[in-house]
Structure 1
Amino acid sequence: MLLGMVGPWQIMLILGFGLGIILPIIALVDIVRNDFRGNNKIVWVLIVIFFNVFGSILYFALGKKQRIL
Protein backbone atom coordinates (compact mmCIF):
# COMPACT_ATOMS: atom_id res chain seq x y z
CA MET A 1 0.00 0.00 0.00
CA LEU A 2 2.84 2.41 0.68
CA LEU A 3 4.06 2.16 -2.91
CA GLY A 4 0.78 3.65 -4.08
CA MET A 5 1.55 6.83 -2.17
CA VAL A 6 4.85 7.43 -3.96
CA GLY A 7 4.50 9.80 -6.89
CA PRO A 8 6.74 10.42 -9.88
CA TRP A 9 8.55 13.30 -8.16
CA GLN A 10 9.48 11.12 -5.21
CA ILE A 11 10.75 8.37 -7.52
CA MET A 12 12.88 10.88 -9.47
CA LEU A 13 14.24 12.24 -6.18
CA ILE A 14 15.17 8.76 -4.94
CA LEU A 15 16.84 7.88 -8.26
CA GLY A 16 18.70 11.21 -8.26
CA PHE A 17 20.10 10.65 -4.77
CA GLY A 18 20.96 7.04 -5.66
CA LEU A 19 22.81 8.17 -8.75
CA GLY A 20 24.55 10.90 -6.77
CA ILE A 21 25.88 8.37 -4.26
CA ILE A 22 26.45 5.19 -6.27
CA LEU A 23 28.12 6.67 -9.37
CA PRO A 24 30.94 8.45 -7.46
CA ILE A 25 31.58 5.31 -5.37
CA ILE A 26 31.92 3.20 -8.51
CA ALA A 27 34.25 5.79 -10.04
CA LEU A 28 36.41 5.99 -6.89
CA VAL A 29 36.71 2.19 -6.68
CA ASP A 30 37.74 2.06 -10.35
CA ILE A 31 40.33 4.82 -9.84
CA VAL A 32 41.84 3.16 -6.76
CA ARG A 33 42.06 -0.28 -8.40
CA ASN A 34 43.90 0.94 -11.53
CA ASP A 35 47.28 2.55 -12.17
CA PHE A 36 47.76 5.96 -13.76
CA ARG A 37 50.77 7.91 -14.93
CA GLY A 38 52.20 10.53 -12.57
CA ASN A 39 49.70 12.24 -10.28
CA ASN A 40 46.67 11.50 -12.44
CA LYS A 41 45.20 9.14 -9.83
CA ILE A 42 45.20 11.84 -7.15
CA VAL A 43 43.76 14.39 -9.58
CA TRP A 44 40.89 12.07 -10.58
CA VAL A 45 40.11 11.20 -6.96
CA LEU A 46 39.88 14.90 -6.10
CA ILE A 47 37.71 15.64 -9.15
CA VAL A 48 35.27 12.84 -8.27
CA ILE A 49 35.16 13.84 -4.58
CA PHE A 50 34.57 17.55 -5.19
CA PHE A 51 32.33 17.35 -8.28
CA ASN A 52 30.47 14.07 -7.48
CA VAL A 53 28.22 13.13 -10.41
CA PHE A 54 29.77 15.55 -12.91
CA GLY A 55 33.28 14.42 -11.90
CA SER A 56 32.28 10.77 -12.21
CA ILE A 57 30.89 11.31 -15.69
CA LEU A 58 34.09 13.15 -16.66
CA TYR A 59 36.18 10.28 -15.32
CA PHE A 60 34.23 7.64 -17.24
CA ALA A 61 34.37 9.76 -20.42
CA LEU A 62 38.00 10.93 -20.25
CA GLY A 63 39.87 9.34 -17.36
CA LYS A 64 39.57 5.70 -18.35
CA LYS A 65 41.74 6.43 -21.39
CA GLN A 66 44.57 7.62 -19.10
CA ARG A 67 44.92 4.31 -17.24
CA ILE A 68 48.02 2.17 -17.59
CA LEU A 69 47.09 -1.26 -18.88
Structure 2
Amino acid sequence: MEISILMWILGVVIILLDVWALASVWRTTKPMGTKVGWTVLILCLPMLGLAIWGIAGPRGVAIPPTSQRHSKG
Protein backbone atom coordinates (compact mmCIF):
# COMPACT_ATOMS: atom_id res chain seq x y z
CA MET A 1 0.00 0.00 0.00
CA GLU A 2 2.75 2.49 0.89
CA ILE A 3 4.68 1.77 -2.29
CA SER A 4 1.66 2.52 -4.47
CA ILE A 5 1.17 5.89 -2.75
CA LEU A 6 4.83 6.74 -3.33
CA MET A 7 4.53 5.74 -6.97
CA TRP A 8 1.49 8.03 -7.39
CA ILE A 9 3.37 10.91 -5.79
CA LEU A 10 6.41 10.27 -7.99
CA GLY A 11 4.19 10.09 -11.07
CA VAL A 12 2.50 13.39 -10.25
CA VAL A 13 5.87 15.07 -9.63
CA ILE A 14 7.21 13.81 -12.98
CA ILE A 15 4.10 15.02 -14.81
CA LEU A 16 4.36 18.46 -13.19
CA LEU A 17 8.06 18.71 -14.08
CA ASP A 18 7.31 17.65 -17.66
CA VAL A 19 4.60 20.32 -17.96
CA TRP A 20 7.04 22.91 -16.60
CA ALA A 21 9.72 21.80 -19.07
CA LEU A 22 7.27 21.93 -22.00
CA ALA A 23 6.14 25.42 -21.01
CA SER A 24 9.79 26.50 -20.85
CA VAL A 25 10.50 24.99 -24.26
CA TRP A 26 7.60 26.81 -25.91
CA ARG A 27 8.49 30.18 -24.31
CA THR A 28 11.90 30.26 -25.99
CA THR A 29 12.70 32.05 -29.23
CA LYS A 30 14.24 28.92 -30.74
CA PRO A 31 13.04 27.68 -34.15
CA MET A 32 9.80 25.68 -34.33
CA GLY A 33 11.68 22.48 -35.23
CA THR A 34 13.73 22.69 -32.03
CA LYS A 35 10.60 23.19 -29.95
CA VAL A 36 8.85 20.25 -31.59
CA GLY A 37 11.91 18.04 -31.11
CA TRP A 38 12.14 18.79 -27.39
CA THR A 39 8.38 18.31 -27.02
CA VAL A 40 8.45 14.90 -28.69
CA LEU A 41 11.43 13.81 -26.58
CA ILE A 42 9.84 14.93 -23.31
CA LEU A 43 6.46 13.37 -24.14
CA CYS A 44 7.84 10.05 -25.42
CA LEU A 45 10.43 9.59 -22.67
CA PRO A 46 9.11 11.55 -19.68
CA MET A 47 11.91 10.93 -17.16
CA LEU A 48 14.80 10.56 -19.58
CA GLY A 49 13.59 13.38 -21.83
CA LEU A 50 13.29 15.69 -18.83
CA ALA A 51 16.81 14.79 -17.70
CA ILE A 52 18.26 15.34 -21.18
CA TRP A 53 16.41 18.66 -21.51
CA GLY A 54 17.66 19.71 -18.08
CA ILE A 55 21.26 19.11 -19.16
CA ALA A 56 21.24 20.15 -22.82
CA GLY A 57 18.07 22.20 -23.25
CA PRO A 58 17.63 25.85 -24.12
CA ARG A 59 19.09 28.33 -21.67
CA GLY A 60 18.97 32.02 -20.94
CA VAL A 61 16.44 34.79 -21.07
CA ALA A 62 14.30 34.72 -24.19
CA ILE A 63 14.10 38.51 -24.52
CA PRO A 64 16.53 40.64 -22.49
CA PRO A 65 15.25 43.76 -20.75
CA THR A 66 15.41 46.88 -22.91
CA SER A 67 14.65 49.48 -20.25
CA GLN A 68 17.51 51.10 -18.35
CA ARG A 69 15.30 51.01 -15.28
CA HIS A 70 14.95 47.22 -15.42
CA SER A 71 18.46 46.32 -16.54
CA LYS A 72 21.47 46.36 -14.25
CA GLY A 73 23.72 47.96 -16.87
Under a length normalisation based on structure 2, what TM-score does the superposition of the two structures give?
0.65
Determine if the alignment matches structure 1 residue 43 to structure 2 residue 37.
Answer: yes
Under a length normalisation based on structure 1, what TM-score does the superposition of the two structures give?
0.68
**Cα deviation 1:24-67 (Å, max 9, x = unaligned):** 100100001112146211110110111112111111110124x8
Q: Is the 8 A contact 1:37 1:68 kept in 2?
A: no
Gaps of 5+ in 2: 64-73
Gaps of 5+ in 1: 1-6
- Counterpart-to-counterpart distance in 2, 1:58 and 1:31: 13
Q: State how many pairs are aligned.
A: 63
SS in 1 for 2:58: helix
Which range moves more in the overlay, 33-42 or 23-32? 33-42
Higher strand share: 1
Query: What are the equivalent positions in structure 2 for 1:1-69 lying under 5 Å apart?
Result: 8-37=2-31, 39-65=33-59
Please give the root-mean-square deviation of Cα atoms over the aligned residues, in Å. 2.4
Q: Larger relative CO (CA 8 A, sep 6+): 1 or 2? A: 1
SS in 1 for 2:14: helix
